[in-house]
Amino acid sequence: MNPLSGTDLRADTDPDSGTGSETTRFQSAAGLNFDNSQIRALPFAFLRDRPHRAPAPRLVAFNAELAARLGADPDALRRQAAAWFSGAALPPGAEPVALAYAGHQFGGFSPVLGDGRAHLLGELVAPDGARFDLQLKGSGATPFARRGDGRALLGPMLREYLVSEAMAALGVPTTRALAVVTTGETVFRDERPGQGAVLARIAASHFRVGTFQFFAARGEIARLRALADHAILRHDPALAGREGRYLAFLDAVIARQVDLVARWMSLGFIHGVMNTDNMAISGETLDYGPCAFMEEFAPGTVFSSIDHQGRYSWANQPLILGWNLARLAETLLPLIDADPDRAAELANARLGGIAALYERAFLARMRTRLGLAGEDAGDAALVADLLRAIAGVDWTLAFRRLCDAAGGDLAPLRALFRDFAPMEAWLARWQARLVPDPVGRMRAANPAVIPRNHLVGQALAAAEAGDMMPFQALLAAVRTPFVEAPAFMDPAPPGTPRTVTYCGT
């Protein structure tokens, strides 16, 4: 059945699913422990589909630290990675599927999206019992592909690897990259050839707001309930089986997403495509296509090539946070209460509090970054006045140089400004609120290194030309973001073209 028809979605569509003997003929000591509970519990939520078999896979990036976290033997897994993470072969226990979901994309609703170029291989159980999805991205067209070729280019896959590792090092909840493998095939975008590549992505899960929208839009309440119960078991097990669990689940998702967006905002990170199919129930940052870190502070900053109206600008991210969560709440209404009016009343009470929750979370992040002692009623105004004062100044360096100013050295901060006057009065107010001995605490909260756009571009261009050294050097730097590394700290030189990012499809 064609999933785009919107009439049915079955788990047994593709007989070449990679299950059975095909998943057991590969013997390895790599130590990947599969237990695919989602496939067992939600057989209606995916289509079985085998990844495209890459003809000449080659491993170009491998995350040994993450492999160890998953309980794998990094050396053994590295030896298998080119085959297993390219679709050329499947690891024992893998059951590849394409997940179904819907989504609002730039405000317009698509009732059927789904993984068009990604295959969930299954769930890995780490030694501590934590569960992680293992997904291949760029692994070939699935029945959800919507006329795309299902392939990915090396540059965008390395970009996701690099930026997601930076986010992890900065303490931001995120999916992570386990490996990037080139396929040996040529992929064309805008009639230009490039190297095909596949990203092996690790996530707490791939449940999205759009996953719930898929079943809600079809009126499949029993399946929606099964999805919600499984998501609760996965992410909020203390709620499992409780009366009122769906409203409590909404509360939990709101709390995770508020924290996530507050972290993005405090770091100057712009996701770039906050569609509901990219909002993870787990609270992890999902999808690193058009993302970038802001350099010169301008609230309306957008990097995405397709965001012509600034819907997903830095300043709009908190607004979209609330909008997306409202879409999730709509799907849960039949589960929250049998009385539609009562369900709406309960959900609206939660949604009405999101703005205040976000303001508190963002202010808490900024208090930490500014080294403020305790809480004060004037802190919101202090932060707002700082943001006005640093307009046009490099976001990351402004906060890093405030660390020097906290120690009495104003020269590095002053050097960032053409006109330092707006900062003069603010500094006195700020210094009166500092914790004792603030410098060390502030340097542990304000990164010196981020994946600066021009450096990312240079590293990816070199990688595409066969030189991985710039990528590896930048990766090492962003993995220790609080350590000053002068070669990776400067903004783009004058005259550098404005960064434009793409989704990579």
* Residues labelled catalytic: 277
Of 222, 253, 232, 230, the closest CA to residue 354 belongs to: 253
* Cα(378)–Cα(105) distance, integer angstroms: 38
* Strand 108-110 versus strand 292-293 pairing type: unpaired
> Cα–Cα distance between 321 and 318 in angstroms, integer?
5
d(CA 54, CA 404): 51
State both tokens at 456: 């990312």
Report residue 109: phi and psi, to 5°: -90, 130
Residue 33: closest CA among 106, 83, 89, 93:
93
Secondary structure of 445-484 as H, E, C letters:
CCCCCCCCHHHHHHHHHHHHCCCCHHHHHHHHHHCCCCCC
Q: How far apart are CA 351 and CA 323, in angstroms?
A: 9
Lookup result for tokens 């079955």: 10
Q: How far apart are CA 456 and CA 419, in angstroms?
A: 30
Nearest CA-CA partner of 356 in 318, 305, 385, 317: 318
Calculate the CA 143 to chain-centre distance: 24
**Largest interatomic CA distance in the chain:** 72
* C-alpha to C-alpha distance for 178 and 199, rounded to whole angstroms: 8
Distance CA 443, CA 225 (A): 46
Closest CA to 458 of 499, 420, 424, 422: 499
Residues 6 or more apart whose Cβ sits within 8 Å of residue 436: 373
DSSP string spanning 37-48?
A: HHHHH-TTSEEE
Residue 242, token pair as written in the block: 């409780």
- Enumerate the H helices of 236-283 as residue ranges: 245-267
